Amino acid sequence: MDNTEVLLGTIKLMKQHNISFSQWEVRKNELEQQGKTVMLMAVGGNPAGMLAVADTVKDESASAIKN
């Protein structure tokens, strides 16, 4: 295994490491507007991927929050 740095996190983390995801910005914003949480991945200081996750609201969610 080499010592290539792999980062997974928010755009804030990527900016702290001077990694630009500007070419991915439109798609990232679209996913966030859909209510998804977007995590970015960089490998060796270069953009490498984007992962979007969402939590589906279930019928029993309201009663779980009340309790």
Residue 61 has pLDDT above 70, yes or no: no
Under CATH, which number does the domain 6-66 receive?
A: 3.40.1110.10
Give the model's pLDDT for residue 1: 57
**Contact criterion met (CB below 8 Å) for 14 and 31:** no
H/E element holding 15?
helix 11-16
Residue 62 has pLDDT above 90, yes or no: no
Instruction: Report how far residue 24's alpha carbon sits from residue 19's, in angstroms, rounded to the nearest whole number.
Output: 12
Sketch the domain layout of the chain as residue ranges: 6-66
**Contact criterion met (CB below 8 Å) for 50 and 28:** yes
Local structure of residue 5 (DSSP, 8 states): -
**Contact criterion met (CB below 8 Å) for 31 and 39:** no
* pTM for this model (two decimals): 0.76
Residue 57 has pLDDT above 80, yes or no: no
User: pLDDT-based confidence at 2, cuts 50/70/90?
Assistant: confident
H/E element holding 61?
helix 61-66
User: Tell me: the pLDDT tens digits for 13-35?
Assistant: 999 999 999 999 999 999 999 99
